[in-house]
């Protein structure tokens, strides 16, 4: 009985994996837990820097993906709209949320481990659409285009895929803060580089 049940379980897993194998395309959406880079401010004529790290907050994403499938590996490009959010403590005792909207294009190379389980990694090409720092005036980020890294693990169940990945920006991409009376942040800048854990649900069409 146990042997029969075990065979049935492996058959079910195998059929679920086969249902999403093969080249194709689909849609995806999910949530993320994000922390942007440091808030850096200069104090006095000596230019001493004060560095304040971000507190992570929840963001979201949605978009499209395509897949070229091979026996043990696959290539999966994606085009995704992402909204990230971080919170910073300011010198006046208040805090503000830093929101960043961007288009991400990860190009992922995956390896099939066993059954529906797979791992993947690859570069993520990012275009910043907008950055907002609450009531604080802020300039555009220094570089609209940046490159990051995606790496993670996933599972395919029928036409549905679930994955969790880590994303990290390779280089600093700062935005200058315009002096204002709200936070008294002179000669300050914030790093928009993301560091986030992303949970995604995908559907093959």
Give percent above pLDDT 90 in the chain.
46
Q: Work out how many domains the chain is built from and give that number.
A: 1
Residue 1 reports pLDDT greater than 60: no
pLDDT tens-place string over residues 70-83: 989 999 999 999 99
pTM: 0.78
The domain that holds 106 is classified in CATH as 2.40.160.20
Distance of alpha carbon 155 from alpha carbon 29, whole angstroms: 15
Strands (E), 36-173: 39-43, 48-52, 55-69, 73-89, 95-114, 117-132, 145-157, 160-169
pLDDT tens-place string over residues 65-116: 999 999 899 999 999 999 988 888 776 667 788 889 999 999 999 999 998 9
Q: Please tell me the predicted confidence (pLDDT) of residue 34.
A: 86
Coil, strand, or helix at residue 7? helix
Distance of alpha carbon 145 from alpha carbon 28, whole angstroms: 23
pLDDT tens-place string over residues 45-58: 545 555 666 677 88
Band (pLDDT 50/70/90 cuts) for residue 14 is very low
Band (pLDDT 50/70/90 cuts) for residue 191 is confident
Q: How many CB atoms lie within 10 A of CB 153?
A: 14
**Domain with 147 in it:** 2-204
**DSSP letter assigned to residue 140:** P
């Amino acid at each position: 009985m146990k042997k029969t049940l075990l065979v049935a379980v492996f058959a079910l897993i195998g059929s679920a994996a086969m249902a999403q194998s093969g080249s194709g395309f689909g849609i995806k959406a999910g949530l993320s837990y994000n922390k942007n880079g440091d808030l850096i401010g200069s104090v006095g004529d000596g230019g001493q820097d004060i560095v304040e790290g971000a507190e992570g907050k929840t963001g979201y994403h949605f978009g499209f993906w395509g897949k070229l499938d091979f026996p043990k590996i696959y290539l999966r490009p994606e085009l995704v709209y992402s909204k990230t959010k971080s919170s910073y403590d300011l010198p006046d005792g208040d805090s503000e949320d830093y929101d960043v909207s961007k288009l991400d294009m990860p190009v992922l190379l995956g390896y099939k481990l066993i059954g529906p389980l797979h791992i993947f990694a690859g570069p993520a090409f990012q275009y910043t659409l907008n950055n907002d720092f609450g009531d604080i005036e802020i300039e555009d980020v220094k570089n609209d285009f940046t490159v990051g890294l995606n790496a993670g693990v996933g599972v395919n169940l029928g036409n549905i895929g679930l994955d969790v990945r880590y994303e990290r920006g390779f280089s600093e991409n700062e935005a200058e803060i315009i002096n204002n009376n709200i936070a008294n942040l002179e000669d300050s800048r914030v790093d928009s580089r993301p560091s986030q854990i992303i949970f995604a649900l995908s559907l093959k069409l």
